[in-house]
């Protein structure tokens, strides 16, 4: 069992900035915007021979009338984690007066037996005149003055956290830690059920779910063990067309989703069955194809449709985007947990293809044969020679093809080579990269 430290406070006091400063990583979204964080974000911290879980929480605030249901869900998720934590870092602002929301959180903390540590953030400049007297009145003990943004007082804070952790929570040696075998990012348009899918897969509520768009902003992480394989799952922000460049928060979230696409191995593209035909889905597919990730298409909310023609939907998707022909497509209901075993089982069965390595000898026998059957067009009357091919990478499979005139090989011929390569070596359904390189033979 891991010692849990949760960062608590009203919106916009710098909790996420403090989370990043303690972890020494930019993991949580940071912006001068109230209520940016909604889901819990956590990371393991190893410091001075001890290990603990650091949790960044959503700001606790008075529920607004506009989206009270959403705020209530966020509060319930935060409260659940507070009750399971061993130490609470209560963050207030040093450059402003205590507010009603600060005092409401103090009332909550007084009811808890959990250890508390008062952290006064934004204290790099002049403190608010009444801040010291306000601190004494709330009775939470001696505070620590820090500036998360400028990394002031962070080491002292980490030392104080360390002193609160019992000796039994010693650091786990790196060699004993089980690293994830594969990383999976769940992406898609807003309101396709990404958070519901994550919660259903791991069997507990980690992401806030709502019918409102853009509920998820920070990627939410979770572990899933299936058939002795350890997966790291990421629930990402919904992709959407931005109406204008002023939608800063959504832009930050979408850029973070794009980063997760680049860094994850497997991408689950979740599509609402009612909107599978939308062109925007293919814009997302284009991004995944460009990054050469292992694409798994999942059609969600099948419980909303009585008669489903799966073959018809698959055919339409493949025809609209030939590059992903034979890519796995699964049909599920994340809410009712239908089709989830088939989904995970299908991913596990599909991964060996993505990890496949083909010997150079077999590749060049194929190249010799294909170039005789269907050679490339001449380049200004000169023969274009396909000389040598080798696989330089797996996960994703990447191939280098050496030729005397790489720029002369047209895109349709390159597609022909790619498709034949996939068909010959049973790589169909995955995205591969074939790069043309100029050979260094001076006689060509």
Letter string b/e over residues 226-260, b meaning 16 or more CB atoms within 10 A of that residue's CB: eeeeebbbbbbbbbbeeeeeeeebbebbbebbbeb
For residue 443, the model assigns a pLDDT of 52
For residue 358, the model assigns a pLDDT of 96
Q: Are 384 and 375 in contact (CB under 8 A)?
A: yes
Radius of gyration (C-alpha) of the chain in whole angstroms: 26
For residue 210, the model assigns a pLDDT of 46
Q: Where in the chain is the domain with CATH 3.30.300.20?
A: 360-438
Q: Hey, what are 280's tokens?
A: 């925007």
* DSSP-assigned beta bridge partners for residue 118: 90
Written out in words, the top-level CATH class of the domain with range 178-354 is: alpha beta
For residue 24, the model assigns a pLDDT of 81
Percent of the chain with pLDDT over 90: 41
Distance of CA 181 to the CA centre of its chain: 16
Its sign, for the CA torsion 386, 388, 392, 395, is positive
For residue 54, the model assigns a pLDDT of 92
What is the spatial distance between Cα 185 and Cα 187, in angstroms, rounded to a whole number? 6
Q: Where in the chain is the domain with CATH 3.40.50.300?
A: 3-174, 178-354
Residue 36 in 3-state DSSP? Answer: coil
Its sign, for the CA torsion 389, 394, 398, 400, is negative
For residue 279, the model assigns a pLDDT of 85
CATH superfamily of 3-174: P-loop containing nucleotide triphosphate hydrolases (3.40.50.300)
Query: CATH topology for 360-438?
Result: GMP Synthetase; Chain A, domain 3 (3.30.300)
The parts of the chain modelled with pLDDT lower than 70 are: 1, 26-39, 61-74, 169-179, 206-219, 241-253, 441-444
Residue 92 in 3-state DSSP? Answer: strand
Q: What is the pLDDT of residues 177-208, one digit of tens each?
A: 556 788 999 998 888 999 899 989 988 776 54
| 0.75 surpassed by pTM | no
What is the spatial distance between Cα 157 and Cα 166, in angstroms, rounded to a whole number? 16
For residue 372, the model assigns a pLDDT of 95
Q: What is the pLDDT of residues 418-443, one digit of tens each?
A: 999 999 999 988 999 999 999 876 55
For residue 215, the model assigns a pLDDT of 47
Classify residue 34 by burial, with Cβ atoms within 10 Å: 0-12, 13-18, 19+. Answer: exposed
> For 111-183, where are the alpha helices, taking DSSP H only?
131-138, 154-164
């Amino acid at each position: 069992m891991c010692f849990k430290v949760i960062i608590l406070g009203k919106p916009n006091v710098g909790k996420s900035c403090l989370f990043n400063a303690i972890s020494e990583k930019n993991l949580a979204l940071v912006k001068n915007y109230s209520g940016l964080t909604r889901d819990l974000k956590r990371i393991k911290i190893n410091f001075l021979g001890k290990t603990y879980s650091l949790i960044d929480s959503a700001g606790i605030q008075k529920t607004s009338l506009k989206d009270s249901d959403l705020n209530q869900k966020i509060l319930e998720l935060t409260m659940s984690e507070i009750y399971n934590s061993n130490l609470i870092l209560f963050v207030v602002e040093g450059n402003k007066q205590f507010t009603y929301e600060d005092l409401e959180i103090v009332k909550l903390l007084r009811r808890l037996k959990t250890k508390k540590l008062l952290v006064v953030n934004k204290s790099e400049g002049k403190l608010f005149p009444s801040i010291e007297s306000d601190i004494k009145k709330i009775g939470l003990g001696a505070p620590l003055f820090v500036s998360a943004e400028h990394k002031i007082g962070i080491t002292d804070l980490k030392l104080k956290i360390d002193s609160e952790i019992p000796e039994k929570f010693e650091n786990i040696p790196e060699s004993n830690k089980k690293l994830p075998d594969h990383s999976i990012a769940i992406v898609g348009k807003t309101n396709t059920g990404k958070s519901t899918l994550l919660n259903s897969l791991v069997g507990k509520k980690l992401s806030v779910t709502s019918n409102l768009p853009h509920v998820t902003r920070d990627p939410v992480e979770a572990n899933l063990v299936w058939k002795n394989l350890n997966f790291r799952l990421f629930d990402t922000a919904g992709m959407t067309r931005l109406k204008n460049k002023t939608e800063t928060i959504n832009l930050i979230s979408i850029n973070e989703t794009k980063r997760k696409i680049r860094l994850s191995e497997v991408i689950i593209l979740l599509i609402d069955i009612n909107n599978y035909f939308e062109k925007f889905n293919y814009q997302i597919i284009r991004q995944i194809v460009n990054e050469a990730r292992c694409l798994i298409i999942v059609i969600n909310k099948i419980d909303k449709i009585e008669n489903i023609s799966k073959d018809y939907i698959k055919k339409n998707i493949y025809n609209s985007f030939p590059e992903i022909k034979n890519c796995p497509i699964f049909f599920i209901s994340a809410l009712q947990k239908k089709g989830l075993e088939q989904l995970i089982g299908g991913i596990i069965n599909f991964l060996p293809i993505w990890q496949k390595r083909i010997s150079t000898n077999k590749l060049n026998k194929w190249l010799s044969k294909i170039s005789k059957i269907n050679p490339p067009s001449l380049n200004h009357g000169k023969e274009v020679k396909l000389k040598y091919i080798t696989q330089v990478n797996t996960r994703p499979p990447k191939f280098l093809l050496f030729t005397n005139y790489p720029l002369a090989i047209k895109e349709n011929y390159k597609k022909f080579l790619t498709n034949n390569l996939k068909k010959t070596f049973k790589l169909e359904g995955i995205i591969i990269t074939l790069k043309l390189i100029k050979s260094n033979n001076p006689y060509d």
